Amino acid sequence: MTDQSVGGSPSGTAGGSRPRGRAAAPRVPRSPEARRRQQDILRIAMDAFAARGYNNASLAEIADRVGLTQAGVLHYFRSKSLLLTSVLELRDETDIEQLGTERPHGLEFLRHLVDTARRNAEREGIVRLYAVLSAESVTDDHPAQVYFRDRYAGLRAFVTDAVTEACGLDASDIRARTAANAVIAVMDGLQVQWLLEPGAVDMTASTGLVIDSILAGLRR
């Protein structure tokens, strides 16, 4: 689920928090030309990570495509893992901008998830990046593991609160959290199916149907 605005998840829900305790940060370019070059690096790195994953995408490839040496790329981002984190934060910022200043709640938030599925069908690169890196992050010592763990934790909390409010459940009702897990799993699974065969999968309709079915079941 890519919209993490609330950021993915599933590809797009800004529900996750940013990685904690990061010691380093990208350099802040001073000139307009340097800022453009840094954005070019991020854009090309996003394409490379989405196509080949973090481990298989090389700094040499990214540097060559942007017209720099590897040392030139590291001048801006210090390390490959920091470049990855910066790419993920960039996509988060895009999702948050689309969401606006206020996060919706209750049924409105759940409808936002359906809108997220609709938007994701128009941005294949972002969806692929999220699908590839989230799956890859379960491997040992992956630099995005904490990022995705925090993201899923935040998204589960948002969806749990929305389901609780939409169905009038008690805050201690564990069914809301179970429903949140199911919604997130459906959205992530739909993205993988859609990436493999776009014409066979309607992510918007499927997401809406699952959410409506879950709400109906809980209200009964």
pLDDT, tens digit, 9 for 90 and up, residues 100-152: 567 789 999 999 999 999 999 998 998 999 999 999 999 999 999 999 999 99
C-alpha distances in Å from residue 162, one per residue of 106, 151, 158, 172, 212: 4, 17, 6, 14, 13
For residue 120, report the phi and psi dihedrals to the nearest 5 degrees. -65, -30
The amino acid at residue 142 is: H
Arithmetic mean of pLDDT, 78-88: 92
Please indicate whether residue 176 or residue 10 has the higher confidence score (pLDDT).
Answer: 176
When pLDDT is cut at 50, 70 and 90, the band that residue 3 belongs to is low
The pLDDT value recorded for residue 9 is: 47
Long-range CB contacts (< 8 A, 24+ apart) of 192-200?
A: 192/131, 194/121, 194/127, 195/124, 195/127, 195/128, 195/131, 198/121, 198/124
* Furthest CA-CA distance within the chain: 62
Ordered by start, the domain boundaries in the chain are 103-219
Instruction: Provide φ and ψ at 10, rounded to 5°.
Output: -10, 145
Lowest mean pLDDT among 84-93, 141-150, 191-200: 84-93
What would the mean pLDDT of 39-65 be, rounded to a whole number? Answer: 94
Class of domain 103-219: mainly alpha
d(CA 9, CA 181): 11
Question: What pLDDT is stored for residue 2 in this prediction?
Answer: 64
Query: What is the reported pLDDT for 90?
Result: 81
Report percent pLDDT > 90 for the chain: 75
Residue located via tokens 């910022």: 93
User: For residue 2, what are the β-bridge partners?
Assistant: 11
What pLDDT does residue 42 have? Answer: 94
Task: Inform me whether the pLDDT recorded for 207 exceeds 90.
Answer: yes
- Nearest Cα neighbor of 188 from 175, 214, 207 is 207
**Two tokens, residue 36:** 């453009």
Q: In angstroms, rounded to a whole number, what is the distance separating the alpha carbons of residues 114 and 97?
A: 17
